[in-house]
Structure 1
């Protein structure tokens, strides 16, 4: 209903149309809502309106990473994002930390004090990181197997530990001018913490949301307040949602057309000849990683394999070590070398069972948050959600 009264984006180049609620965004949300309601025919109609408007497009593969940084603000792929603008009337501590994405470098950047020198400090513009996100080994391995070494999408989303340590700029000639062979044994770089290593990390590091130095707009508020727009929905999600609706209504040729568009833009080595829900689920997990879709998809699909993994989440936590600073010990559990053996790997993981944590998804409980007690006190007609 809202779409009737909203402006339409003027063209793919209309940046204003990417940062306000438009017909395209309303149609995209309607389609997503119909998908969740299992009204697939209605989802197809709404989502196809976005496609047929020709006001949106996938950016070229070489610009895929820009979608998550200031260089990609309001580009042709953005269906809706929240606009951040520099305001000279606001200082760091009198408005901007409340109005922007504060401390994102700390959160997303890798744990700086466990490296000899942080390998992405130059990339980020100087702020240190706390290592707040670990990538499951299985996910990085499956993503790599699907996409291959030359995928724009994989390389913009995750980074192998050796690629990070060997190939990111340190801003120091004594390191940057070393060959890869020299770097493989150098103690001037690497993970120098022999106790924890990089706690909670596999041999794949998160990269998609790591802040670039340019995202600070020249450090207008320092090096830890990002000013690139906050992404809510991009066209790739519209195409994948449309493809799902097509699969669910038996229109497999139409679904394949749009899944292939996503795969081809990604630079993936996998271009599906046939498609089904398994193909769709995998593509969506790779394409939209860390964009707020995955949990809700797992819940509505009742995806057995994903839910089984969630029930075990946190029961075993990896430590990522560097053999230059710590050789594997006899009592290490599940030693996993990055490239399969010690002979051709510098980095490896071990596992620590976390027996003292109450972890893992519980079906029938964790699909919902609990009502706060203060809310229940005010409304005795409410019943607490199951399990809480």
Structure 2
């Protein structure tokens, strides 16, 4: 039996009792000698590992945990791009605009759609592996030869409890109104392999218990060689997010405040440290999937054991990419208009001839996305972004996040020729997100000034103009927008500017959809965006060799719907506004693949 992956358990054979007459006693005696006893049938296959024979040492536990971490690192757990394009943040189809057949962008997905099935299956694979580790830890507890081994086993179990709890958190916020199947142990035995879904609150209670346990047993930090493992701070952050998903702002705020104050996290000086291979596992990182292209290069590129098995960068890159996801037009305009703090020296550029000017776009914009007319941050080794990538196909912006634009290579493919791999760690939770989520809680609790302080911490890190009246707040000398905010206006800013500008195209996928759902505005949001109209203008530029060229229609511009220059080819969200039905599309449904193989769910 493959201990880590199979769901097949031993089935015991029962011998049938046969009535034997007196005239068959000799035959009975003969059969008794050669017949199958229960003990004989229950012999362990010496060529296979069993649960009892495999789990013996702390090393065995750690082997199982490594397999669980590998499963937790799969892109299928998060489906970031599919979640992105079913929100209000992105357009993506694999085709050039305006053609689109993406069922998630169009909001016509259903229980037969492939991605929900992949996500469901992968999350339960992670849970299955975690359960094996948890059961083995519980069984072996008290049998080790040293206290160090006992302590290490306990921490291994706490990591497995976190990974199981985190998987259920994602299932709960993604599928079937939070009603999913709870497996607290490895399937089999008297309970069989099939269970019905549990009530949403039972699911929350179950995974929160896992996370609370992990919070008390896991370290706050790991030694350098162990960095990347889950921590107590990560458990507390996910707990806060779970209560935020319920709009329980008071409870969520308690967890977020502890994360901010008690674990030593800090915003990185450069926001760009959070998006590429630069400065991975930094002081801002709370939960992060570690990837590398330095190992397992001999494997097939889709092999789950590959430490760089991710196609995410190929979906996002502006060079030879697959157009899997590009920023929505409204979001591009927000990035283009992210206002500078002119008092911040980082926003001042000194040209080669000694002249001074200000940056054209904010640091947050430049490190998050590649825009055709950004002169201040190179892209794949080109000083001019326009020269590096084509912007002539109604693609006016590409995400820099999750890609290797900073390494100076022509394409991601240069890192692993002939394969689609990525060494960029996937940041699932970072401190800036917790600051903003804590700010939302504070707004809902009536503390607008404190909420603005945390939003401004995030903005100041990127040299962006601060919110509020000039000369006020934590940083009175910095530029402010000189607006007096109340709870309503600050919440609107947080929802439609700060959250998307800071956090788009990162995290564990479902956050934006969870937010739109809990705010009760997703249908309304699609309708508002469907009413917007755009056009585009050309961008002439000079190449590094001194020649000139033009990127046609490469700068998107918002216009009034009555403007004759409005181009229907730039319209967005028309289908989403028409197709979205809260009861059908707020969550992914339980996949058909589960209903077909699980008769308990299928019958219901």
- TM-score normalized by the length of structure 2: 0.47
CA, structure 1 residues 58+218, in 2 after alignment: closer, same or farther (shift >3 Å)? farther
Distance 1:214 1:318 in 2: 33
Q: 2: distance between equivalents of 1:234 and 1:214?
A: 23
* Residues 298, 90 of structure 1: alpha-carbon distance in 2 compared, 3 angstrom cutoff: same
Aligned positions of 1:67-82 closer than 5 A: 67-82=274-289
Task: Say whether the 8 Å CA contact 1:336–1:350 is kept in structure 2.
Answer: no
Between the aligned partners of 2:461 and 2:243, the Cα distance in structure 1 is 27
1:44-78 superposed Cα distances (whole Å, 9 cap, x missing partner): 11111111114100001xx2112111112110000
- Correspondence for 1:367: 586
**Structure 2 residue matching 1:198: 3-state secondary structure:** coil
Contact residue 146 and residue 270 of structure 1 kept, 8 A: no
Relative to structure 1, the CA distance from residue 129 to residue 190 in structure 2 (aligned partners, 3 Å threshold; closer, same or farther) is closer
TM-score (normalised: structure 1):
0.69
> Residues 84 and 100 of structure 1 are in contact (CA less than 8 Å); yes or no, is this contact kept in structure 2?
yes
Q: State the alpha-carbon separation in 2 of the partners of residues 91 and 325 from structure 1.
A: 42
1:205 aligns with 2:398: yes
**8 Å contact 1:86–1:227 — kept in the other structure?**
yes
Shift in Å, 1:39: 1.6
Give the deviation of 1:382 after TM superposition: 5.9
The Cα shift of 1:300 comes to 1.2
When residues 381 and 254 of structure 1 are mapped into structure 2, their CA distance, relative to the original with a 3 A threshold, is: same
TM-superposed deviation, 1:162: 3.1
Q: Quick one: distance in 2 between partners of 1:318 and 1:133?
A: 20
Name the counterpart of 1:301. 519
Q: Does 1:140 align with 2:348?
A: no
Structure 1 residues 220-265: Cα deviation after superposition (integer angstroms, max 9, x where no partner): 6447422132211111111111111111111222212111101111
Q: Distance in 1 between matches of 2:323 and 2:334?
A: 22
- Rounded to whole Å, the distance in 2 between the matches of 1:18 and 1:77 is 13
Conserved in 1, the CA contact under 8 Å of 2:295 and 2:306?
Answer: no
SS at match of 2:585: coil
User: Following TM superposition, by how much is the alpha carbon of 1:104 offset from its aligned partner in structure 2, in angstroms?
Assistant: 3.9
Mapped to 1, the partners of 2:569 and 2:280 lie a distance apart of: 41
Contact 2:315–2:321 at 8 Å: present in 1 too? yes
Find out whether 1:107 has 2:315 as its counterpart. yes
Q: Is the 8 A contact 1:40 1:245 kept in 2?
A: yes
Residues 95-150 of structure 1 show CA distances to partners (whole Å, capped at 9, x for unaligned) of 4774424344432122x5xxxxxxxxxxxxxxx32333222222211233233434
Aligned residues: 329
CA deviation after TM superposition for structure 1 residue 85, in Å = 4.5
Question: Paired residue for 1:280?
Answer: 494
Whether 2:569 is the aligned partner of 1:352: answer yes
Distance in 1 of aligned mates of 2:239 and 2:581? 28
Deviation of 1:337 (Å): 6.0
SS of the residue corresponding to residue 326 of structure 2 reads coil
Secondary structure in 2 matching 1:232: strand
CA contact (8 A) 1:260 1:272 kept: no
CA RMSD of aligned residues (A): 4.2
SS of residue matched to 1:74:
coil
Of 207, 213, 221, which residue of structure 2 is paired with 1:9? 221
Write the distance in 2 (CA, Å) between the matches of 1:23 and 1:7. 6
**Cα deviations by residue, 1:298-319 (Å, 9 ceiling, x for unpaired):** 1111236524257x49x99989
CA contact (8 A) 1:81 1:231 kept: yes
Q: 301-310 or 147-156, which moves further after superposition?
A: 301-310
Distance 1:153 1:105 in 2: 19
**Cα separation, 2, equivalents of 1:21 and 1:352:** 45
Deviation at 1:24, TM superposition (A): 0.5
Aligned match for 1:47, one of 252, 256, 260: 256
Give the Å deviation of 1:18: 5.1
Q: Which runs of 5+ in 2 are unaligned?
A: 1-211, 341-359, 470-484, 541-548, 560-564
Q: How does 1:190-229 map to 2 (within 5 A)?
A: 191=390, 197-199=392-394, 201=395, 203-212=396-405, 214=407, 221-222=416-417, 224-229=420-425
Q: Provide the rounded CA distance (Å) in 2 between the counterparts of 1:163 and 1:320.
A: 15
Aligned to 1:121: none
CA change 1:207–1:353 in 2 (3 A) is: closer
1:28 aligns with 2:28: no
C-alpha change, 1:55 and 1:218, in structure 2 (3 Å) is farther
| Residue pair 2:539, 2:554 contacting (<8 A) in 1 also | no
CA distance in structure 2 between the partners assigned to 1:383 and 1:308 by the alignment:
37
Q: Does the aligned pair in 2 maintain the 1:299–1:367 contact within 8 Å?
A: yes
